[in-house]
Amino acid sequence: MFHKTLLTLTSGALALTLLSVQPALAQESGEDGRAGQSGGADRTERGPRQNRRASGAATPTAGENAATVQAMLTTASVDCRVLEATLVGVTAEEHPTYEASCVDGPGYLVIGATPPQTFNCLELAGQAETSRLRDPEADVGQQCTLPVNLDPLPVLSGYARQAGIDCTVDRAGAIGKNNTGQLIYEIGCAERDGYWIEKADAGWKTSPCWSLSLQGVTCRYSTPAETLGAWKTVLAGTEAAPCDVQQARRVGRDAQGLTVYEVKCGVGDGYLARVGDTFTAQRVHPCATAQTIGGGCTLTPASAAPATSSEQ
């Protein structure tokens, strides 16, 4: 038995599915002689308070646990070389449940059903964080507890390096799934704007938080100051490089497939910037001469200079 809750958030072209897939382990009877129960829709939001331990059998060794879990993960086509495995309880159907850590990658909760059921520790922890943001008192169900599984930074720092992100990762976690079922991770960078990353057919897809913020998405691990500060990199090498960006908005896409943004500067005129897939500006246009591009600038007052550009 397991609990599943789906919540889909849609903003413009973005679609993120927050997924809770929580193993429901059997509970011991309470003082009234009944197992703990929850009713209605809340059942998918709360896990067990106690896990019933397997009894009546010899305690398996650490090596036996590891071998058992490795076989189940292999059967489930999960790429994990088991580092450690421990028996944590049994389900209501008497299926043994294990927690495993992996040499490379996230750990798992594994239920010895037919076929085996597996639950990514990073995904469970991410859903728990989301639930607690909505309700600090939320019961988030069964979670991974092995020390190596409690720290997502080693695994997600490795993923960030694979994705080409050169920063000191200070916070990170799984935040949901994309429309193909791949986990999306948020990477927080020390004193810098962060990213969402997701596995793609060839490598990783990265989305900087400054871009996400202009599509109605707020990153958990980046501050507004870090997000605005990212424009220094976006505008580097252009005439807009000195702009101390105070505000930005997404205008749309141009005929060349570049994304057009408006930035408001702390001092002086603002700009329209055409940004490519590498998230760096290919061309910029001072607001004074950009009235015919995407409706012109709206964040800064129109300059008295006449419009001379007719680019679209």
Q: What is the pLDDT of residues 252-266, one digit of tens each?
A: 999 999 999 999 999
pLDDT value, residue 295: 87
What value does the mean pLDDT of the chain take? 83
Mean local confidence (pLDDT), 118-138: 94
pLDDT mean over 198-213: 94
| 293: DSSP letter | S
Q: For residue 10, what are the β-bridge partners?
A: 15
Helix and strand numbers, DSSP H then E, in the chain? 7, 14
Contact 205, 198 (CB under 8 A): yes
* Mean pLDDT value across residues 1-9: 35
Instruction: Say which DSSP state 203 is in.
Output: S
SS3 191: coil
pLDDT average, residue stretch 188-214: 95
Using CA atoms, how far apart are residues 60 and 139, in angstroms rounded to an integer?
Answer: 30
At residue 230, the pLDDT reads 97
pLDDT 10s digits, 141-158? 999 999 999 999 999 999
Overall average pLDDT of the 264-285 stretch: 95
pLDDT tens sequence across 45-58: 333 333 455 455 67
User: Over pLDDT 90: what percentage of the chain?
Assistant: 71
pLDDT higher than threshold 80 for residue 139:
yes
pLDDT at residue number 204: 95
